Amino acid sequence: MNHSLFAPDALLPTGWARNVLLRWDEQGKLSAVKPDMQAPQGVGLAPGPVLPGLPNLHSHAFQRAFAGLTEYRGEAQDSFWSWRTLMYRFAQRITPDQLEAIATWLYIEMLEAGYTAVCEFHYVHHDRDGTPYTDDATLALCLLRAAQTTGIQLTLLPVLYQTSGFGVTPPTDGQRRFIRRTDNMLNLLARLKPLCDAQGARLGLAPHSLRAVPPDALRAALAGLDALDPTAPVHIHIAEQTGEVDACLAWSGQRPVQWLLDHAEVDARWCLVHATHMDESEYRRAAQSGAVAGICPSTEANLGDGLFDMPRWLSHGGAWGLGSDSHATVNAAEELLLLEYGQRLQLRQRNVLATRQQPQVATAMTLQAVAGGAQAAGRTASGETAGLAVGQPADFVALDAHHLALAGLSAPEMLSAHVFASHRTSALDGVWVGGQQRVSAGRHALREPAALSFIAARRAIISES
């Protein structure tokens, strides 16, 4: 394997640099990032500007096969909750082989779309009637294999799910495949930890939401996780819907984020997924806790969640990253576009997420999403710089400088055009994870067989209804 690449332009944590030599070691970590170099003999030339790979911080893999199937009106007023009923029906049918086929295809799509890591918020645990599989880790192992096969970096987040609402409301029949006692979850984590370590995956925990995990269970699960790995990431769905905020207020007198900040030690290990509905003090306290806001623009738009107030979050120094969540869209550039456009529509301004240091909005957003995503994935320790920096994984993406949308532009303009001037075909050429090239000429080597298996799995699940 050639452990180097020469990039005419590369997006470093400090901004764009010219003539950058990238080298990496046997472990797939960057050992040199040197700007202003002459191209050395025998080193490959990147086909266009090189960007840091983007971590996808929120994924429910099985939902990829469900994307597009709920875009019709079923009730007088469809909502997140009517969507969830349909999603549960879909989740009830999936088999281990189908999950692996769907996740394998999804991770290939992600790699081809510029994501080099994924945080899998994994909540379908049991067999279709709700009884545990003989090997209780069966479905988690499907996800580990899908990541191994495709080469994407995985952060596996088994989900703790116990109740259907605040105040220890018993789970519904539709949730039977999700439910685990706390000790049972801790046993699963102990079983998965060496397997994740062996394949370079990170293992964390996802208490599903405050409505699905009672306070005692939350405390006990976090203590158990700390005993296993005190640096493990913790992700939670929170304040996605106003209905959840109202129910939390009725239960506790507090809003969800407020309750969480008062009852758990939320810090930089945490990812608050969505956090759409916060008041000013929640924005300030959550941002200052060091937690990452997990924004999922296409899913939040698809489900009619509402808009996260990015300028307010950033004014408090908040970290953030991107997730594709329900996978209505699997395209990192499109998520950036939607995020910025939502803010523009709300504020009637342009280039909302540009910063003083980075007036190019696509550049500014990419660097912030890479930093927040790596933190949420548990891949950067506190104070570590994510992206194209020595010691970081050699995870990067090369744009195709000859693509119609990009040809003849400067590197920052190419990234802008990639995000804001789509020509319906991908302008990504190569994708490397841990120094290994997984995508060449825009294509993953396993694309064709994985696509066929995905289509067969989706057809089988749909035909059961």
Site size toward Zn ion (CB under 5 A) is: 1
SS3 107: helix
Min CB(326)–Zn ion separation in Å = 7
Residue 75 CB, shortest distance to Zn ion, in Å, is 22
Nearest to 229 by CA among 273, 286, 269, 178: 269
274, 403, 418, 444: the catalytic one is 274
Give the separation between CA 291 and CA 293, rounded to whole angstroms: 7
Task: Work out the number of other CB atoms within 10 angstroms of the CB of residue 345.
Answer: 11
Of the residues 229, 305, 309, 325, which is catalytic?
325
Supply the minimum distance, in Å, between the C-beta of residue 110 and Zn ion.
15
Active site residue 325: yes
The DSSP annotation for 295-352 comes to E-HHHHHHTT-----HHHHHHTT-EEEE--BT-S---HHHHHHHHHHHHHHHHT-SST
Complex with Zn ion: residue 300 or 395, whichever CB lies closer: 300
Q: Considering only residues 307-336, where is the footprint of Zn ion by CB under 5 A? A: 325
Considering the complex, what minimum distance in angstroms separates the CB of residue 113 from Zn ion? 18
240 near Zn ion, rule: CB under 5 A: no
Name the minimum Å distance from CB 300 to Zn ion.
10
Q: Which position's Cβ is nearest Zn ion?
A: 325
Least separation in angstroms between residue 235's CB and Zn ion is 9
Element at 421 (helix H, strand E): none
User: 374 by DSSP, 3-state: which?
Assistant: helix
Cα–Cα dist 154/55, whole Å: 9
> What span, in angstroms and rounded, lies between the C-alpha atoms of 460 and 367?
40
Verify whether residue 246 is a known catalytic residue.
no
Do 34 and 41 touch, CB atoms closer than 8 A?
A: no
What residues contact 106, with CB distance under 8 A and at least 6 apart? 59, 61, 64, 146, 327, 330, 454
153-160 and 115-122 strand pairing: parallel
Nearest to 411 by CA among 10, 82, 86: 10
Q: Which has the closest alpha carbon to 161: 194, 209, 100, 96?
A: 209
Q: Catalog residues that contact Zn ion under the rule CB under 5 A.
A: 325
Tell me which residues are annotated as active site.
Answer: 274, 325
